[in-house]
Amino acid sequence: MTAALRYEWRRLWSIRSTYWLIGITFGLQLAGTLLAAMGTSAVENVFDAAETVSQIITLGAATGLSPLFTAYIIAMFGVFCFGHEYRYGMIRATLTAVPDRRAVFAAKALITALLAAVMSVGCSLIGMFSSLLFLDTRGALSSDTVWYVVLGAALFTVLFGLCGMAFAALVRNQTGALAMVLLVPLVAENIIALILRIVSQDGGDAVELAKVLPFDAGAQMYASSFADELNRFLGYDPLGAVGGGLVFTAFTALLVAGAFALFLTRDA
Amino acid sequence: MAVIEATGLGKSYGGKAAVIDLAFRVEPGSVTGFLGPNGSGKSTTMRLMLGLDNGDGRTTFDGVPFRSMKDPMRHVGALLEAKAFHPTRKARNHLRLLAAANGIPDTRVDEVLAMVGLHSVTSAKPKGFSLGMGQRLGIAAALLGDPHALILDEPANGLDPQGITWLRNLLKQLAGEGRSVFVSSHLLSEMALLADQIVIIGRGQLIASGAMSDFITSNARTAVIVRSPDMALLGPALAARGADAQHSDEGAYDVTGIEQSVVGDLAHEVGARLHELSTRRATLEEAFLDATGMSEEFIGGVQQRAPMGQGSPGDYGQQGEHR
């Protein structure tokens, strides 16, 4: 396992895409959160500050109205860890250097998860820094609300990164995996949710199924109370951070397990 | 030293057999050429040997399967395809990546890059590499762990004539140091100069294996060339010894089933004058084409192409070699 980890660690830091992805993620997060903080009116109390900081560090994703932008960029690390192997024919070189496929897969999953967690927390810290520059949000830093959002966003990003990795391992095509990372949560889930709402217009409860759509459910991990109200308005009670997190975790686990099983049995 | 032993290798794609119950042995201290027509299953066999493809059979290196090895690149070096690298990862970093997984010190990276003639492009991105440079980088990766055994799939592809000579000398040197070198190539003339042993497959099945010289000598195209104005005397004497004499196009006779020296003795005994007495040995190409049943396909192809004025038998090295 250590051989596979050494290999994966060097693989990660010996290609340019790692550096530009990190730069883009942190750069856009800094620019976005600075603009968001500048555009926010003064906070009145600690509760208001906690809500404000939560919205700034997630660039509005905590409202449930927009996706967690940084998670989509960070998920590319997951896609690239297998995508590059297949795009450039490196997989055979990899498996002749480390023939233990279980170890190769586990190392990629571990490093993807670790990187996603560190980068997500880094993005949250950047958001806090931006808030402090323009707003009196020092009190919010001791609020559980903010730290739950930080934790939730990190868990969501880790799971999203693993989904990206699993997509790439399943389809063995980098472009296809990138498309899936964008289209499944942003397009497919919204179309399904819309269909469920239409079906439920005559009083049915099919719309309740929308709350178990995995990426939407996972977003509950960093959602604020505003997002809860939005979901109720759309016709269903959300699962909450724990329930939503469990649904997204189960989905990710299934996806990763499928990718793992195929990685072990397919020809390289 | 590593004996490579493959037994019962088999692989099917969609119910169609690509490799069928293949077994062979590669001995240390030799270069073993792996020959077969296009699509005969050479690359699939090599991937099976390294556990990259799932199939039947087992390959061991001194009794150990590749997938069970710790630090496998220290035991087996492999080159399976050209340009198997990330285009923007520098050549040195590509090798360091492989070295890291096998506990190989980074200093070895520069050694092998120098060994394959890439010392001037260690910090270059391989996206600009030619096919030949890509092959050299692949060979450097195979040599990285100073392995006991090498498995190389078409390593001469893309190399220029100087590169091919360099590769031949390198592989012979490595074999001379006691390593097992298993190398596939479609360049038969090059293989004739390189390999001591051969494994030949066709349609996924073993056709021949053993010493290169035995394979060529046993080919039917090896014959004694006899040119004599007294064949009326010599012919019956040859027939009495069990030899078969066939009149060739050039007015000479191709005599098989008898040694050149015996023909000379017989001519002396019966008083036949000899204007030519030589042995024509089959080339590896001829022996290979006969063994794989490709001679007729080849001839058919030439006959079809001939009216268009394209190609000739000579293009394919079909001429017999007179010695």
| Inter-chain touch B53–A6, beta carbons under 8 Å | no
> Which tens digits make up the pLDDT trace of A58-106?
998 888 778 899 999 999 999 999 999 999 989 999 999 999 999 999 9
The total number of residues shown for chain A amounts to 268
**Number of A:B CB contacts under 8 A?**
83
Rounded percentage of chain A residues whose pLDDT exceeds 90 = 62
pLDDT band of residue A43 (cuts 50, 70, 90) is low
Predicted TM-score (pTM) of this structure: 0.83
Taking CA atoms, B4 is separated from A72, A92, A115, A159, B61, in Å, by 48, 20, 41, 44, 5
Give the mutation candidate from B50, B61, B86 for the A interface (greatest A CB count, under 10 A). Answer: B86
d(CA A42, CA A45): 9
The total number of residues shown for chain B amounts to 323
Instruction: Copy the structure tokens of residue B175.
Output: 């074999």
| Inter-chain touch A96–B67, beta carbons under 8 Å | no
| Inter-chain touch A97–B101, beta carbons under 8 Å | yes
Give the mutation candidate from A5, A15, A21, A96 for the B interface (greatest B CB count, under 10 A). Answer: A96
| Inter-chain touch B67–A100, beta carbons under 8 Å | yes
| Inter-chain touch A11–B73, beta carbons under 8 Å | no
Which one is predicted more confidently, B270 or B321?
Answer: B270
Across B58-79, average pLDDT: 94
| Inter-chain touch A266–B94, beta carbons under 8 Å | no
| Inter-chain touch A10–B66, beta carbons under 8 Å | no
Nearest to B97 among A10, A16, A266 (CB): A10
| Inter-chain touch B47–A267, beta carbons under 8 Å | yes
* Contact map slice: A 1-60 vs B, CB within 8 A: 3-4, 6-7, 9-11, 14-16
Instruction: Copy the structure tokens of residue A206.
Output: 């099919």
> Which tens digits make up the pLDDT trace of B76-122?
999 998 788 899 999 999 999 999 999 999 999 999 999 998 988 88
Residue A136 CA from chain centroid, whole number: 29
Contact list, A3 vs chain B (CB under 8 Å): 70-71, 101-103
* CA within 13 Å, CB half, B276: 15
Name the nearest CA neighbour of A164 among A210, A223, A115. A115
Complex-level ipTM: 0.83
Q: Is the pLDDT of residue B309 over 60?
A: no
d(CA B164, CA B142): 17
Q: Is the pLDDT of residue A22 over 70?
A: yes
Packing angle of the helix pair A69-87, A101-134 (nearest 10 deg): 150
Find the DSSP H helices in B60-160: 91-101, 107-115, 131-143
Instruction: Copy the structure tokens of residue B203.
Output: 């349609």
| Inter-chain touch A14–B89, beta carbons under 8 Å | yes
Domain parsing of chain A, residue ranges: 2-265
pLDDT band of residue B321 (cuts 50, 70, 90) is very low
**Bridge partners of residue B35, in order along the sequence:** B200
Q: Is B90 on the interface with A (CB under 8 A)?
A: yes
Residue A11 CA from chain centroid, whole number: 22
Nearest to B69 among A89, A95, A99 (CB): A99
> Which tens digits make up the pLDDT trace of B157-168?
888 888 899 999
Across B184-192, average pLDDT: 85
* Contact map slice: A 89-108 vs B, CB within 8 A: 89-90, 92-93, 95-100
Name the nearest CA neighbour of B6 among B291, B206, B215. B206
| Inter-chain touch B96–A14, beta carbons under 8 Å | yes
> Which tens digits make up the pLDDT trace of A109-132?
999 999 999 999 999 999 999 988
Contact list, B51 vs chain A (CB under 8 Å): 95, 99
| Inter-chain touch B89–A96, beta carbons under 8 Å | no
**pLDDT value at residue B302:** 41
Q: Pseudo-torsion of CA A41, A43, A47, A49, nearest 10°?
A: 80
Q: Is B53 on the interface with A (CB under 8 A)?
A: yes
Name the nearest CA neighbour of B117 among B136, B101, B135. B136
Contact B34, B45 (CB under 8 A): yes
Contact B212, B195 (CB under 8 A): yes
pLDDT band of residue B283 (cuts 50, 70, 90) is confident
Contact list, B71 vs chain A (CB under 8 Å): 3
Q: Pseudo-torsion of CA A131, A137, A143, A149, nearest 10°?
A: -20
SS3 of A12-37: the string is: HHCCHHHHHHHHHHHHHHHHHHHHHH
> Which tens digits make up the pLDDT trace of A158-193?
999 999 999 999 999 999 999 999 999 999 998 998
